[in-house]
Chain A
Amino acid sequence: MTEVCLSNVVKDYGKFRAVHGIDLSIQDGEFVVLVGPSGCGKSTTLRMIAGLEDISGGEITIGGRVVNDLPPRERNISMVFQNYALYPHMTVRENLGFSLKIAKADAARIGAAVKEAAEILGLNELMDRKPSELSGGQRQRVAMGRAIVRHPDVFLFDEPLSNLDAKLRTQMRVEIKKLHQRVGNTIIYVTHDQVEAMTLADRIVLMRDGHIVQVGTPLDLFNAPVSTFVATFIGSPPMNLIDGRVTDADTISLAGGPAVPVPVGVRGLVKSGQKIQLGFRADNLMPDGHSVQEGGEMTALDLTVTLTEPLGTETLLFTEVAGTEVQAKMLNPRPVRPGETLKFHLMLDKCHVFDAASSEAIRR
């Protein structure tokens, strides 16, 4: 059993506090992704778990053992770095076997473990090459191989895909997920890319300015963001947000624009006169005749298209509601010229309402 627990973990750099007492408990075999904009403390948190950074306060346990003051080598973890950090003077084989060699394992055991890792990651052809003779994707694979050879309790990934091109990134993403399904270890993965977070994670930990903003499954964060920050960070395109005011218990008047009914879900939770932000995803604003017809509360808006982005199965339509640019999604697209005015349906029951002052979601 190797759960990883962080309780009230703090990191200070001089007077600057990079991580503000975070609490997090990661189950055995769970794939947890720490995500957030740069400088949010996600990498620092990972490096504290790895033992590469000292902990200024709080406690970290791995498998029930407090590791605060243990050096990295005694934590039984392995880590994949953003720049791979392969040993340039060793061949792939030596790179893979290095940790076992340091542990003074006998040659037969090293050979077997290296062979197993090489097979899992398809490195057999490359074993006698030096890292400088490998492509980016191959180096990435060797770095992952080096991590799995030791059978660690926990894998740590620090933005492992950000140096790869888009196509390779998608491919390696799948390989990482397959690797997790195959070895089943606990994985803590840091990225700034919300797509990686959504696709890989069992649970996402969204961080900002050294605090945890929301923890949950990808769909939790997508469907029930706790704040406008989560709403705009998770999902592509980001959630549309429009300023508005509750005029009476049933109506929201969007700044200088149309009025829409208060979504059923939050009726009774908003006060008349309260300033709010109405949030909805592009999927929930669709032109008439190009939407998924389903029941539920809708309201119709006539909007003028300013820009189109055809993506094949769908087209993103840029338009303006109450002076704010919003994106809508058109399924089974037909050509649309900028300037055309279309009738759109806004699915009210999929809308989110955030308090304008605190940016927090208003929800039952």
Chain B
Amino acid sequence: MDHNLTHRNRKRALKTLHFIVLFLTMSIICIPGLWIVLNSFRPTVEIMAKPPVWNPSFTLEHYRAMFGGAGEGGVPVFSYFRNSLIVSVTSTLIAILIGMSGGYAFARYRFKGKSGYFVGLMLFRAVPGVALSLPLFIVFARLGIIDTHFGLILAYVAMNVPFTIWLTDGFFRQIPKELHEAAEIDGCTRWQAFWRVEFPVARSGVASAAIFAFLTSWNEFALASQLTRSVGSKTMPVGLLDFTAEFTINWGGMCALAVLMIVPALILTFIVQKHLIAGLTFGGVKG
């Protein structure tokens, strides 16, 4: 009886602790995001207020100003958005195509120096992007592709491919090789077997790799800030810098633009999240 009671109490205590830790973790992750959204709707006075104002007033002033003319604190939001979209979508598509082929090759074929290549790719990930920004800047400047969509896309593809390979390799590895063998016996070429059987089965893996690649490109700041200069190629994260002047920072405007940046990423994640929940595909083999 006593023993049971202590056991139950301990279980309850553990559960509470579990909840508290989860709550704290989620707070750390969510509160900054929430703060950005809240600040974008507050007058500048309230943003700067110390102590903070807990029941803020609501204003759309920052959004109005942001979309307004250049003299009224406006920034070319649509250009930035378009640049971001072009660069992120294109680089994601290319990175997925290359990365998926690479991942498939690593998962299915045996070739000389395979593990060496693989470790090499991972090491490449370990190099901080910023460290590459100066050499990239010089090379791109020489090639004349600085301040172009193409240059940025190239950089992002290079950045995303190793990770995509690593992720898709894992997914393809989970698919038993008998599936493509069965498809080949059923009359497929190797190529058909991939597109009609293995790719659909690995769809969720490819989708998650795509989301990661897209978000990386969408949010990237360090390289973009070096490789772009004009309205014609600046992406949204770089655009955020427009709100910093020599002596002041327009926090409200920055938050408003940040919200505009977050929204498409959130929408995309929601659309694809069905695929991110893996496991719906398996069962075709012994399970």
Contacts and interface: CB of A to CB of B under 8 A. Distances in A.
Interface of A: 50-52, 71-73, 77-79, 81-89, 98-99, 102-103, 130-133, 136, 139, 146, 150, 163
Contacts of A102: 186-188, 192, 196
B287 A132 contact: yes
Interface string B244-287: 00000000000000000000000000000000000001111111
Contacts, number: 91
A72 B178 CA distance: 13
Given A52-B184, A71-B184, A79-B182, A88 B189 contact: no
Given A79-B185, A98-B186, A85 B179 contact: yes
Given A85-B176, A131-B284, A78 B186 contact: yes
Contacts of A130: 283
Given A85-B178, A85-B181, A103 B187 contact: yes
Q: How large is the interface on B (under 10, 10 to 19, 20 to 34, 35 or more residues)?
A: 20 to 34
19 contacts: A51-B184, A52-B184, A73-B185, A73-B186, A73-B187, A73-B188, A78-B185, A79-B181, A82-B178, A82-B286, A83-B286, A85-B182, A86-B182, A87-B182, A98-B196, A102-B187, A130-B283, A132-B283, A132-B284
A133 B185 CA distance: 24
A175 to B, nearest CB: 18
Interface of B: 176, 178-179, 181-189, 192, 196-197, 200-201, 203, 281-287
Given A85-B182, A87-B197, A89-B201, 13 more contacts: A71-B189, A73-B186, A83-B285, A85-B181, A86-B284, A87-B182, A87-B183, A89-B203, A98-B183, A102-B196, A132-B284, A133-B283, A150-B187
Contacts of B287: 132
A326 B161 CA distance: 65
B286 A84 contact: yes
Given A73-B189, A102-B192, A88 B184 contact: no
A99 B284 contact: no
A88 B284 contact: yes
Nearest to A98: B186
Given A52-B181, A72-B181, A102-B192, A85 B186 contact: no
Contacts of B178: 81-83, 85
Closest 9 CB pairs of A and B: A132-B283, A88-B284, A85-B178, A99-B186, A85-B182, A83-B285, A102-B187, A86-B284, A131-B284
B282 A132 contact: yes
A191 to B, nearest CB: 16
Contacts of A150: 186-187
A131 to B, nearest CB: 4
Given A132-B283, A136-B286, A83 B176 contact: yes
A78 B188 CA distance: 12
Contacts of B286: 82-84, 136, 139, 163
Contact of B285 (A52, A86, A133): A86
A97 to B, nearest CB: 10
B283 A88 contact: yes
A131 B197 CA distance: 14
Given A72-B181, A102-B192, A84 B285 contact: yes
